[in-house]
Amino acid sequence: MHSLHLTALLLSLATSISAVPTAVQAPTPFQFIVAESSSSSTFSKRNVGGVRLCTGTDWTGYCDYVIWPLNECINLNDYAGHVLSFRPDEDTECYLMQGKCDANSEYADLLYDSTGLGDLNILPWIAQANSYMCMTPLAM
């Protein structure tokens, strides 16, 4: 009797462990404005406020291009803890943050031409990144 329960439990665990998501939910605090196919590897000038983000380094894995209002806290949803590539549009500055846009914790200040945007593994806290906020950079 116990072996029947154990077999059922092991089968249940094996089924749940092998399940791989077919896609991830993009950041969605507001109406989804635009998305970019993950097969697109070229970067072109976008609107102010857009970001391209991927779950893998060097723009691999699941990728999305999204545009949200500036100066709003954006929840990364399924991308939380999995963003390894992140590039804001030109004329956009973004803070990739831990917590709900918590500036009291470490965060990354990212611009279009910042170095290392394709490999955020250099940030020891990147697995805790779960929000971002973008704005128009101040003119110098």
66 and 27 in contact (C-beta within 8 Å)? Answer: yes
Q: Is residue 62 part of a domain?
A: yes
pTM summary value: 0.67
* pLDDT tens-digit profile, the chain (140 residues): 444 443 333 334 333 333 334 555 555 444 344 444 444 444 444 467 899 999 999 999 999 999 988 999 999 999 999 999 999 999 899 999 998 888 888 999 999 999 899 999 999 999 999 999 999 877 64
- Which structural domain range is residue 41 located in? 27-135
State the total domains in the chain. 1
CATH number at residue 114: 2.60.20.10
pLDDT at 39: 46
DSSP state letters, 108-121: EEEETT-TTTT-GG
pLDDT at 47: 65
What is the per-residue burial (b if ≥16 Cβ within 10 Å, else e) of 69-103? eeeeebebebbbebbbbbbbbeebbbbbbbeebee
